[in-house]
């Protein structure tokens, strides 16, 4: 990572040695990063309530709480509910077998891979590749806007299936479900759509009737409504993230590529565990 403001990482681990090791590998392996540490979940909660971070690593076993309690705090009680939070632990495999990591964890890093590999792992989130492969289901009723956005997505390596309304988007997803597959890697939808369904309605059906979690099928919502309460309602309703209109290309692509990468990693993990 080069240029711009330093990226801030919070390391939460009850072991002083682990905190020192993680801090060292991140500072040695990543340029332009600032690392802060906390020895307990309560200390981390206090920091997260008043400070902004770009990334958080959490041990599963903390002196005062389970690491997943802290992850839940990030998701429900901070202004950065959707920043990457990864579990760093040697107990990951057991939790995975018992299906106990849940959807609130962005990803996990197994200590058996060795701490030096952690810097490369974190780099993938803080400095994602400018291109990626994957499929986007894009819902936009303006064909002019859709053409420009589709070209932008395809230039980054994504394949795009464009539909003009929520009903058609839902039909695509339901067909994929009947065929035993999720379908696209991400749904990108405008909140205002022609037809009976709004983007919010589509989001509700994806999270409700279809039952897809944020990790399995991320939904990125574009909105021209600057009202923070309305934006918060979309996030509470299951949107992974929002992009305000008029859309700024760099911001849209950064958020979209990040969500696609996370979803693909989670699907790969699920397939590996099922094999």
pLDDT in tens, 203-217: 999 999 998 888 789
Whole-model pTM over 0.75: no
Give the residue-averaged pLDDT of 95-124. Answer: 71
* Separation of CA 10 from chain center: 17
pLDDT tens digits for 146-167?
999 999 999 888 999 999 999 9
CA 172 to CA 184: how far, in whole Å? 9
The predicted pLDDT at position 168 comes to: 97
128 pLDDT more than 70: no
The predicted pLDDT at position 2 comes to: 43
- The b-or-e profile of 191-200 (16+ CB within 10 A means b, else e) is bbbeeebbbb
Both tokens assigned to 262 = 């996370």
- The b-or-e profile of 221-235 (16+ CB within 10 A means b, else e) is bbbeeeeeeebeebe
Mean pLDDT of the chain: 85
Domains of the chain are 7-127 (3.40.50.2300), 134-267 (3.40.50.2300)
Do residues 32 and 6 lie in contact, with contact meaning Cβ atoms separated by under 8 Å? Answer: yes
Torsion (CA) 217, 267, 18, 22 in degrees, nearest 10: -70
Do residues 212 and 161 lie in contact, with contact meaning Cβ atoms separated by under 8 Å? Answer: no
């Amino acid at each position: 990572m080069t240029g711009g403001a330093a990226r801030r990482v919070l390391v939460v681990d009850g072991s002083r040695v682990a905190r020192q090791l993680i801090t060292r590998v991140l500072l040695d392996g990543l340029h332009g990063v600032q690392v802060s540490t906390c020895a307990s979940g309560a200390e981390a909660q206090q920091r997260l309530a008043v400070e902004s971070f770009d990334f958080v690593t959490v041990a599963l076993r903390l002196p005062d709480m389970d690491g997943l309690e802290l992850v839940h705090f990030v998701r429900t009680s901070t202004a950065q509910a959707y920043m990457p939070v990864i579990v760093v632990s040697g107990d990951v495999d057991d939790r995975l077998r018992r299906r106990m990591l849940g959807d609130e964890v962005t990803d996990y890093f197994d200590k058996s891979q060795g701490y030096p590999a952690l810097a490369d792992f974190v780099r993938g989130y803080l400095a994602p590749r400018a291109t990626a492969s994957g499929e986007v289901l894009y819902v936009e009723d303006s064909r002019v806007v859709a053409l420009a956005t589709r070209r932008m997505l395809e230039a980054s390596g994504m394949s795009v299936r464009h539909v003009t309304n929520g009903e058609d988007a839902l039909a695509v997803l339901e067909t994929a479900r009947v065929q035993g597959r999720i379908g696209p890697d991400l749904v990108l939808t405008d909140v205002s759509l022609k037809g009976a369904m709004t983007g919010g309605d589509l989001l509700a059906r994806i999270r409700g009737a279809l039952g897809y979690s944020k990790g399995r099928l991320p939904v990125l919502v574009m909105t021209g409504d600057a009202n923070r309460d309305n934006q918060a309602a979309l996030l509470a309703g299951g949107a992974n993230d929002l992009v305000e209109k008029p859309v700024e290309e760099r911001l849209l692509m950064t958020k979209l590529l990040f969500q696609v990468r996370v979803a693909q990693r989670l699907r790969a993990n699920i397939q590996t565990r099922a094999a």
